[in-house]
Amino acid sequence: MSIFSIWKKEPIKVTEQDIDNFNECNKALVDLKNSLDPYHVDIKTNITNGKAAARLYMDYFLMATALDAFYNGDELEYKKINKVIYNRIPKKDYLFKLRVVDNPIAVGKLVRLGLLEKIVTENEYNPKFKITEAGVKAMQQQTFQTLAASSFYNYQTYKLNKRTLWMSLCMLITAIVSIVVSVIAILKTQ
């Protein structure tokens, strides 16, 4: 097997085996590029840790509340589900941060997970939903309530950690200033 640099100088010395080897190597490189292609993601987001934690909490809270609406019956109109959600949401912190599409997305996720079934009705804007057996089990096990509580805890811990960091920095600056003042006071008394 010859070296590629020799091919450039003396193309006549290239054998069929060399060309086959080169083509196999080239094919392997193309396969490598194709296998890495799904991992090249162009990330264009401004989501911070705090926003992500708050978003997770809201998603799980909405899904848990939508399931909680079915405590009174097996079939509910979308309007009734919305009413339950809006009456249980923490008004001070989250009601005005809620987007219009958040409720339909939460209900859609529950349908997609097989916890709710959409019942076709004449009114396409206010359909009925029926809770499935898996939805009843999720309610009994408090699955989404637990997820909402743990994501809320994580969000509050994140906020507390940020405050602790700022307090630590302020205390460090205060300590440095007090050391400087102490040194200046000692130097002036001598």
Q: What is the pLDDT of residues 63-112, one digit of tens each?
A: 999 998 998 888 888 889 988 888 888 777 776 777 888 888 999 999 99
For the structural domain made of 49-152, what CATH number should be given? 1.10.10.10
Q: What is the pLDDT of residue 137?
A: 92
- More confident: 92 or 25: 25
What is the DSSP track for 48-75? -HHHHHHHHHHHHHHHHHHHHGGGS-SE
For the chain, what are the domain ranges? 4-39, 49-152
Residue 129 pLDDT: 93
No. of helices (H) and no. of strands (E), the chain:
7, 3
Q: Is 21 helix (H, G, I), strand (E, B) or coil?
A: helix
CA atoms of 190 and 187, how far apart (whole Å): 5
pTM of the model: 0.66
Q: What is the pLDDT of residues 117-162, one digit of tens each?
A: 999 888 888 889 999 999 999 988 998 889 888 988 888 888 899 8
The pLDDT of residue 5:
66
Over residues 158-178, the pLDDT tens digits come to 889 989 999 999 999 999 999
Identify the pLDDT of residue 4.
63
